Structures are given as structure tokens and as C-alpha cells.
């Protein structure tokens, strides 16, 4: 019975993390950047939203400002990468560390900020899971529609090609650096939005709430895409799959806690899930490949030494 009672809460949390996973999808799958900024920007979203709500700003405005704050964190990471030539992984780590201090400052030096759902009017909170689920689904639907429209515009197509083939993109007159910054801004904006919703749902913003967020986001993406790519490999189905992946993740998470698993091990389990999803295709391709005796007719990149 305990597990059944916990399902609505798990679904609500899963949906909120699903929004976060959509943000990660944009950086990881579309831009082809493993952006570690998200561990910091999800917390930035929560802190900004928490501070605004507790100082009397309406919740809807607060989550919008949280989105903008997240977009700024993405711009910082993007500029470190494109304008200053820092490898994207490191740019993300640096931004994440910057954000740890910034988030502490936003919270006024505290590590935890209570957002009392009885005092403020929140978009969602864990005292009312049904309402939370409805609001989360509404926000996700809106988000997916906006992203779907955006990625089929002239600008959106160039964002996709930037991640898919930067050579081709530059040859077609696309400013690849600008697009990376723009993409990271959108991605981290969405991540911060999910942080803002999470803070409201759980009733507090916590300086440590982003730790390992990227791993949860990736787990949701891998779980979701493993199914949705088989159904129909298009953009909208992928995004729905990613959100569903977040929900599945939280259901499993809740279930293993219900089974009495040591909660200290949960982060390790998340990391193992992601490692497995990344490792299995590689192991299959490299250790279990059928060997063919005819050599493959591929000699493509042996050009002049200067044109590489």
C-alpha cells in the first residue's frame, strides 16, 4: 500500500525532472554538448524562484524570472566555451562552481530557504499531487509545443545543424558560436524552470539540490529514447519520451526506496544506469562485432596534411 500511495508524488516529481531532462536533451542531443552547467542552473532556478515568491512576487512571474536567470547561466557557459576557447565540459564545470557561490548569495548566505505553501500561492506543491500533476503536464505541453515550433523555424533548423555538423553549418553561413550560446541559454533556461517548479513542489530551495542533476537528466533521456525512438523517431515523440523517462526514473526510484534500499546508494545507482546506457552500445560495437574478411572500402579522410 505504501508504494501505491507514493505513486502520485513520484509521478509529479518525475514530470518536473522530465522538464529538466528536456533542457538536457537540447544541449546533449541537439547541440552535442555534455553541459554540466545544469547541476548549478537547476539550483539557480530554485533559489531565484524561492526568493521572489517569499518576497511576495506571484509564482508565475517568479518562474519566468527563474527561466531568464537560467538562460544567463547558459550564456556564461556558452561564452566560456566559444569566445574563450575553453572545452565545453570544463566550461560547464567552471560555470557550475561559479553558480554554487552565486546561489548561496541569492539565498542570502543560507543553504536552505523554506517556501511555505500555506503562506504563498504556489503553482504546485506536494500537499496536492493531483493539482501538481495537472499543472506540470500543462507546462510540459506548452513547452513541447513552443520547442516544436521553434526547432522547425529557420533559426531552429540552424541550431540542429550546428550540433549535427559544424563544418556544414559554417559553410552554409551559420554562426556556430552564436548558436551554441543560444542553445545553451535555452537549455539552461528550461533547466532553471524545472528547478523553480521543484522548489515549489518540495516547499524549499536547497543549495545542494542540483548535485548530480545532469545524471538524472541523462538517465531520463536514455530511458525515454530507448522506447520513443522505436515508436517514431521524431522531435515531439522524443520529447514526450524524455519526460516519460523522467517519470519512469522516479517511479523506479520510489519503488527501490519502498523495497528498503539504502538511500545512500541512490546516486550511485543513477550513475550506473547512465553508464550502462552509454556502455552497452559501445561494448556491443567493439567487443562483439562480427568480423568480416572483406575489408571495408573506406578511405575518406586521407587528404593533404594541411586541410584536416
Binding site for other proteins (CB under 8 A): 150, 152-158, 160-161, 164-165, 167-176, 297, 299-301, 303-307
Q: How far is CA 45 from the centre of its chain?
A: 13
Look up residue 2 and give its three cell numbers. 505504501
Q: How far is the CB of 29 from other proteins (least distance, A)?
A: 9
When the beta carbons of 1 and 308 are compared against other proteins, the nearer one is: 308
**Of residues 99, 97, 100, 106, the one with CA closest to residue 47:** 106
Q: How far apart are CA 131 and CA 229, in angstroms?
A: 30
Q: Which residue, 34 or 98, has its beta carbon nearer to other proteins?
A: 34
* Phi/psi of residue 228, nearest 5 degrees: -70, -30
**Cell reading at 7:** 505513486
Among 278, 56, 58, 98, residue whose Cα is nearest residue 188: 98
The least distance separating other proteins from the CB of residue 306, rounded to whole angstroms, comes to: 4
Residue 124 to residue 132: CA distance in whole angstroms = 4
The β-bridge partners of 204 are 114
**Nearer to other proteins among residue 17 and residue 222 (C-beta):** 222
Query: Residue 123 gets which letter from DSSP?
Result: S
The smaller minimum CB distance to other proteins, of residues 3 and 150, is found at: 150
Minimum Å gap between C-beta 232 and other proteins is 13
> Smallest gap, in angstroms, from Cβ of residue 271 to other proteins?
27
Cβ closest to other proteins, residue 5 vs residue 307: 307
Smallest gap from residue 254 Cβ to other proteins (A): 35
Nearest Cα residue to 241 out of 219, 269, 215, 261: 219
Amino acid at each position: 500500500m505504501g508504494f501505491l500511495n507514493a505513486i502520485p508524488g513520484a509521478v509529479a516529481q518525475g514530470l518536473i525532472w522530465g522538464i529538466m531532462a528536456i533542457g538536457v536533451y537540447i544541449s546533449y542531443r541537439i547541440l552535442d554538448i555534455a553541459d554540466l552547467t545544469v547541476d548549478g542552473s537547476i539550483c539557480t532556478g530554485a533559489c531565484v524562484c524561492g526568493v521572489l515568491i517569499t518576497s511576495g512576487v506571484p509564482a508565475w512571474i517568479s518562474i519566468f524570472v527563474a527561466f531568464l536567470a537560467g538562460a544567463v547561466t547558459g550564456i556564461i557557459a556558452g561564452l566560456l566555451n566559444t569566445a574563450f576557447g575553453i572545452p565545453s565540459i570544463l566550461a560547464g564545470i567552471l560555470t557550475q562552481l561559479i553558480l554554487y557561490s552565486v546561489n548561496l548569495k541569492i539565498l542570502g548566505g543560507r543553504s536552505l530557504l523554506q517556501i511555505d505553501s500555506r503562506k504563498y500561492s504556489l503553482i504546485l506543491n506536494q500537499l496536492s499531487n493531483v493539482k501538481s500533476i495537472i499543472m506540470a503536464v500543462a507546462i510540459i505541453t506548452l513547452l513541447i509545443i513552443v520547442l516544436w515550433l521553434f526547432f522547425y523555424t529557420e533559426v531552429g533548423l540552424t541550431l540542429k545543424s550546428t550540433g549535427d555538423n559544424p563544418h556544414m553549418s559554417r559553410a552554409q553561413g551559420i554562426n556556430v558560436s552564436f548558436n551554441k550560446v543560444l542553445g545553451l541559454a535555452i537549455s539552461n533556461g528550461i533547466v532553471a524552470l524545472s528547478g523553480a517548479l521543484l522548489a515549489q513542489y518540495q516547499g524549499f530551495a536547497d543549495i545542494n539540490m542540483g548535485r548530480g542533476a545532469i545524471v538524472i537528466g541523462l538517465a531520463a533521456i536514455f530511458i525515454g529514447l530507448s522506447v520513443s525512438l522505436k515508436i517514431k523517431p521524431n522531435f515531439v515523440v522524443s520529447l514526450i519520451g524524455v519526460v516519460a523517462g523522467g517519470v519512469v526514473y522516479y517511479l523506479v526510484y520510489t519503488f527501490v526506496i519502498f523495497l528498503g534500499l539504502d538511500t545512500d546508494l541512490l546516486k550511485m545507482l543513477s550513475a550506473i544506469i547512465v553508464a550502462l546506457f552509454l556502455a552497452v552500445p559501445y561494448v556491443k560495437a567493439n567487443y562483439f562485432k562480427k568480423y568480416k574478411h572483406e575489408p571495408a572500402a573506406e578511405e575518406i579522410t586521407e587528404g593533404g596534411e594541411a586541410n584536416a
